[in-house]
Amino acid sequence: MAEKDMTFDIEYDVVVIGGGGSGKSAALTAAKGGLSVALLEKMEHTGGTSIYAEGQAAFESSEQKTRKLPEGKQFPSKEEGFKRYIDYSHHRANTDVVRMQVSNTAETIDLMKKLGIEYTDVNIYAYDQPHELYTFHRPEGLGEHMQEVLLRACVNAGVDIFTSTPAKKLLMKDNAVVGVQALDSKGNRINIGCKDVVLASGGYGNSPELVKKYSWLYRSADYTYQCVPTENTGDGLNMALEIGADTDNIGPIMIIPCARTKTLTSHVSGAGSQPVLWVNKTGKRFASEEVAMSFADAGNTIAMQPQGTVYAIIDSDTIQHLMNDGSDIGLGDFIEYHMKLTRLQTELDQDVEAGIAWKGNSIEELAKSMGLDAQVLADTVKEYNEACDNHYDSLFFKPSKFLRHVRKGPFYAINMAPSVLVSDGGIRVNGNMQVTDEKYKPITGLYAVGNDASGLYGDTYNLDVPGTANGFAHASGRVAARHIIKTLGA
């Protein structure tokens, strides 16, 4: 939006749009650098997706330098991290953005420690996963506590925080961003003048329309299930595109399997996320369920099935195993490795009663209650049990340790859905997090950070560097703010 005779209701040096981890990191850094800062958050509270983050990635951090790993394991160097990001993206990542990530995430750890954050562990996300790097810095209290600490630090540093205040337009003058038009908490339009704007609105992952438009998930976008209550609907992306910004590798999205209508801490969802027997709406298997060890790959696998629907089929013996022995794989802090799913039977009974899970005394009865072809599902289960007998899966080569029979009734089916956590690509930026136009030229006064920015991914979130998105959020926000401080000469 460009206007010749523009007037502002209030002016700041910097306006940050979005109050998650990337936005608060940018606001705090800018304020500590002597700049006046306004942070606009459209929700009633700040935090965004960062509230649900568990750990953050870092390379050559002070925590890594003081900890030991099991014999044969090592913490990755910045060089190893750089190469892993580039290789995993199939060389589609922006090398300047990747360099920014590996060079600045260790400092995030030190800054958080100065704010009072304690790190309880530096590990991998999925235990027994051979490909992960040991980058996962787990803070006490996880993401929710980190966001509380950052919010307090922003307030103490003098950041003016406006909640229930959605940004609507970027204001332009002489081809530079000079302000933001927003709606205040009462719905009144306000024009806020500034020298720089930082877009930190969290991407577009919660907008089915934009997911259909930009990602590979267009066939299943209407069948996804939102397991965390975020509102990342592409605000920053749309505002940037309106004034001539360009995109880069915009399609990556982070998907996690979750039982439909359930939370990630649900024991039913945790059971369905195990490498048990999975079938789609045809009643047939479609992959090695070992893929469950990486929630990002498992999410992609489920999302590719007809109507984004997968059924986890378990028998009574498996239920007892999960309740008494614990999970075979973990899902971070939501379902810990070898955690006993003690609520599983109770939850299953409730879900069957509510019609969101299914039960049958035989496989044929289970199939009929699900609306599947009874003979097809029976044949699938028979073939699967034969693989369990032989300790060899000739269809998908699932490791024998995950081959568990489906024989003892009653039998249950859990409705697993792809849940889009965040988008991982969007506005093209350079290594300073400046937004660029179609000619790769920075747009004066505009930055994008966190999940509003592109550059770190190929087509999938790389869980083999666990904590990447959260690490990127805080590092990119800080790098953008420091470039603003340098440019303004504060």
pTM of the model: 0.94
What was the pLDDT predicted at 2?
52
Q: What length is written for the chain? A: 490
Count Cβ atoms within 10 A of the Cβ of residue 286 and give its class: 0-12 exposed, 13-18 middle, 19 or more buried: middle
What was the pLDDT predicted at 333?
84
Q: What is the mean pLDDT of each run of 10 residues along the chain (490 residues)?
A: 75 98 98 98 95 95 94 95 96 97 98 97 82 94 96 98 98 97 96 98 94 89 87 96 94 93 95 97 98 92 96 98 96 89 98 97 98 98 98 97 97 96 94 97 98 93 93 98 92
Please check whether residue 236 is in contact with residue 427, taking contact to mean a CB–CB distance below 8 angstroms: yes
Report strand pairing: 411-423 vs 310-314.
antiparallel
Q: Tell me the per-residue pLDDT of 162-207, one tens digit each, with 9 for 90 and over.
A: 999 999 999 999 999 999 999 999 999 999 999 999 999 999 999 9
Q: Which CATH architecture has domain 10-249+424-488?
A: 3-Layer(bba) Sandwich (3.50)
Please check whether residue 485 is in contact with residue 477, taking contact to mean a CB–CB distance below 8 angstroms: no
Q: Taking the mean position of all CA atoms in its chain, how far away is CA 326? A: 26
3-state secondary structure the chain: CECCCCCCCEECCEEEECCCHHHHHHHHHHHHCCCCEEEECCCCCCCHHHHHCCCEECCCCHHHHHCCCCCCCCCCCHHHHHHHHHHHCCCCCCHHHHHHHHHHHHHHHHHHHHCCCCEEEEECCCCCCCCCCCCEEEECCHHHHHHHHHHHHHHHCCCEEECCCCEEEEEEECCEEEEEEEECCCCCEEEEECCEEEECCCCCCCCHHHHHHHCHHHHCHHHCCCCCCCCCCCHHHHHHHHCCECEECCCCEEEEEEECCCCCCCHHHHHHCCCCEEECCCCCCCCCHHHHHCHHHHHHHHHCCHHHCEEEEECHHHHHHHHHCCCCCCECCCECCCCCCCCHHHHHHHHHHHCCEEEECCHHHHHHHHCCCHHHHHHHHHHHHHHHHHCCCCCCCCCHHHCCCCCCCCEEEEEEEEEEEEECCEECECCCCEEEECCCCEEEEEEECHHHECCCCCCCCCCCCCCHHHHHHHHHHHHHHHHHHHHHCC
121-148 burial, b at 16+ Cβ within 10 Å, e below that, comes to: ebbbbbeeeeebbbbbbbbeebbeebbe
Tokens of residue 385, six digits: 């049990």
Q: What is the dihedral of CA 163, 165, 170, 172, to 10 degrees?
A: -90
Please check whether residue 406 is in contact with residue 314, taking contact to mean a CB–CB distance below 8 angstroms: yes
Where exactly are the structural domains of the chain? 10-249+424-488, 253-420
What was the pLDDT predicted at 227?
87
Domain 253-420 bears CATH identifier 3.90.700.10: yes
Count Cβ atoms within 10 A of the Cβ of residue 118 and give its class: 0-12 exposed, 13-18 middle, 19 or more buried: exposed
